């Protein structure tokens, strides 16, 4: 025969097949590491996702590193629908009048608008008209800050987070006092609420979608450049919400559950067939012990990869903390040295002036 059959013992067929799928699963998990974005100082980076009504979406943001010894702190916004919904986002002309007709498009581009241009045009001309405290029902507009500077379980970190929370409350109290009695149009915008993250993990929020269209997740660096991970996951694509977390399944966990079902979901008594000539190899019952061991290896491999990814996050965050601490210590030392030189110089000048005055008095 022109197709040589592999010389594989019959009793090793199923374990070999399962090990092959396990290797493929391990490589697939590595592909689901979130994309990292470098965000320059005072700049904003956004990602977009098209969502449908009654879907559920979870957005995730994690500042991995703050460059130039800065603090891992960012302004986050989740908004939508910013485009793709004519019921909520009527098209406006240059005079601010509502117009839903396609005549608004330039003649050369009418009917040829790309998705990117449609989103950009809608954000510039439509979204700004409806966003705000009186936005239509179904519009999501979340803006806040997240600070990972004091993430950790130590008493000092907990005290620092409490101080951040108290500072945020004080800013809101001051805003209320300063705008008391003012006309609605004269009231200053509310300050952004700051969330002090307690663990070195991504910040996540889950929302139910009430209006279809394009939604955007944006991260802004207020001071130093940042390296951040951003991700949006929707339940329709990832088959539901994780009951343990209340958030949409992660890509890695969804892949893991699907692989568990495909590898180990075969019913007792199912017969395994040869992939070449269709001859019966054995029953699944005959490999029960092998399946148990391989399932354990499957779970262990997934847990190891997840742990390694989280450890990489912690190492980068701790490295940033160490660099920032060293830089603050260096500046503190320089300031103390400069202050010592100034005080010493002033003392020498004072003593010299006093001695000179005594000599002239004689």
Q: In the prediction, which pLDDT does 166 show?
A: 92
SS3 call for 144: strand
Give the confidence band of 59 by pLDDT, cuts at 50, 70, 90: very high
Cα 227 to its chain centre, rounded Å, is 11
Is the pLDDT confidence value at 3 over 70? no
More confident residue, 361 or 359: 359
Average pLDDT, integer, range 69-87: 89
SS3 call for 281: strand
CB 276 within 8 A of CB 285: no
As a whole-number percent, the residues of the chain with pLDDT over 90 amount to 25
Number of residues assigned to the chain: 362
Say whether the peptide bond before residue 163 is cis (omega within 30 degrees of 0). no
Nearest 5°: the CA angle 229, 233, 237 is: 145
Q: What is the pLDDT of residues 168-212, one digit of tens each?
A: 999 889 888 888 877 777 777 888 899 999 888 899 999 999 999
Q: Which residue has the tokens 């005080």?
A: 343
> Nearest-CA neighbor of 5 among 273, 276, 282, 280?
276
Q: Give the model confidence (pLDDT) of 97-108 as tens digits.
A: 555 544 444 444
The 3-class secondary structure across 222-247, one letter per residue, is CCCCEEEEEEEEEHHHHCCECCCCCC
Q: Decide if 92 contacts 125 (C-beta within 8 A).
A: yes
Residue 314 CA: distances (Å) to CA of 138, 148, 150, 220, 322 = 37, 11, 13, 22, 12
130-159 average pLDDT score: 86
pLDDT at 2: 43
- Distance CA(127)–CA(215), nearest Å, equals 11
Which carries the bigger pLDDT value, residue 237 or residue 91? 237
CA angle 169–173–177, rounded 5-degree value? 170
| 338 alpha carbon, distance to own chain's centre | 42
In the prediction, which pLDDT does 115 show? 73
pLDDT of residue 135: 80
Non-local (6+) Cβ contacts of 96 within 8 A are 129
Average pLDDT over residues 241-269: 77
What is the pLDDT confidence band of residue 140, given thresholds at 50, 70 and 90?
A: very high
pLDDT reported for residue 48:
93
Please give the distance of CA 315 from its chain centroid, rounded to a whole number: 18
Question: 108 and 100 in contact (C-beta within 8 Å)?
Answer: no
**Residue 44's pLDDT band (boundaries 50, 70, 90)?**
very high
Given this model, what pLDDT does residue 101 score? 46
Backbone angles phi, psi at 263, to 5 degrees: -85, -40
Torsion over CA of 148, 150, 154 and 158, rounded to 10 degrees?
-110
Q: Residue 295 — very low, low, confident or very high, per pLDDT cuts 50/70/90?
A: low
Q: Are 234 and 56 in contact (CB under 8 A)?
A: yes
* pLDDT band with cut points at 50, 70 and 90 for residue 361: low
Whether the Cβ atoms of residue 74 and residue 145 lie closer than 8 Å to each other: yes
Q: Give, for 282, the enclosing helix (H) or strand (E).
A: strand 280-283
Higher pLDDT, 30 or 172: 172
What pLDDT score was predicted for residue 77? 94
pLDDT in tens, 86-125: 888 876 554 545 555 444 444 444 445 577 777 888 777 7
Query: How far apart are alpha carbons 233 and 250 in whole angstroms?
Result: 7
What are φ and ψ of residue 357, in 5° steps?
Answer: -65, -35
Among 10-19, 54-63, 179-188, name the one with the lowest average pLDDT.
10-19
């Amino acid at each position: 025969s022109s197709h040589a059959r592999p010389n594989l013992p019959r009793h090793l067929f199923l374990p070999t097949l399962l090990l092959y799928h396990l290797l493929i699963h391990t490589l697939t998990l590595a592909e689901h590491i979130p994309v990292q974005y470098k965000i320059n100082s005072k700049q904003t980076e956004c990602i977009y996702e098209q969502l449908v009504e009654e879907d559920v979406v979870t957005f995730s943001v994690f500042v991995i590193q703050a460059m130039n010894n800065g603090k891992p702190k960012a302004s986050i916004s989740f908004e939508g629908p910013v485009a793709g919904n004519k019921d909520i986002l009527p098209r406006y002309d240059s005079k601010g009048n509502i117009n839903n007709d396609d005549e608004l498009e330039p003649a050369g581009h009418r009917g040829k608008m790309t998705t990117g241009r449609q989103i950009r045009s809608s954000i510039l001309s439509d979204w700004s008209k409806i966003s705000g405290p009186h936005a239509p029902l179904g519009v999501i507009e979340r803006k806040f800050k997240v600070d990972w500077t004091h993430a950790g379980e130590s008493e000092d970190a907990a005290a620092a987070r409490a101080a951040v929370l108290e500072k945020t409350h004080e800013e809101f109290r001051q805003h209320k006092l300063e705008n008391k009695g003012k006309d609605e149009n004269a009231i200053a915008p509310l300050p952004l609420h700051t969330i002090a993250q307690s663990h070195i993990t991504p910040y996540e929020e889950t929302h139910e979608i009430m209006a279809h269209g394009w939604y955007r997740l944006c991260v802004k660096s207020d001071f130093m450049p940042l390296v951040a991970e951003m991700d949006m996951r929707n339940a329709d694509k990832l088959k539901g919400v994780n009951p343990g977390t209340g958030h949409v399944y992660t890509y890695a966990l969804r892949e893991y559950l699907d692989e568990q079902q495909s590898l180990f979901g075969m019913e007792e008594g199912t017969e395994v067939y040869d992939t070449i000539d269709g001859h019966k190899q054995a029953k699944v019952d005959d490999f029960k012990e092998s399946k148990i061991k391989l399932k354990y290896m499957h779970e262990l491999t997934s847990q190891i990869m997840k742990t390694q990814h989280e450890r990489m996050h912690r190492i980068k965050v701790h490295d940033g903390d160490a660099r920032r601490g060293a830089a603050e210590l260096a500046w503190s030392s320089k300031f103390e040295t400069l202050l010592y030189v100034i005080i010493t110089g002033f003392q020498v000048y004072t003593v010299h002036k006093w001695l000179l005055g005594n000599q002239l008095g004689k």
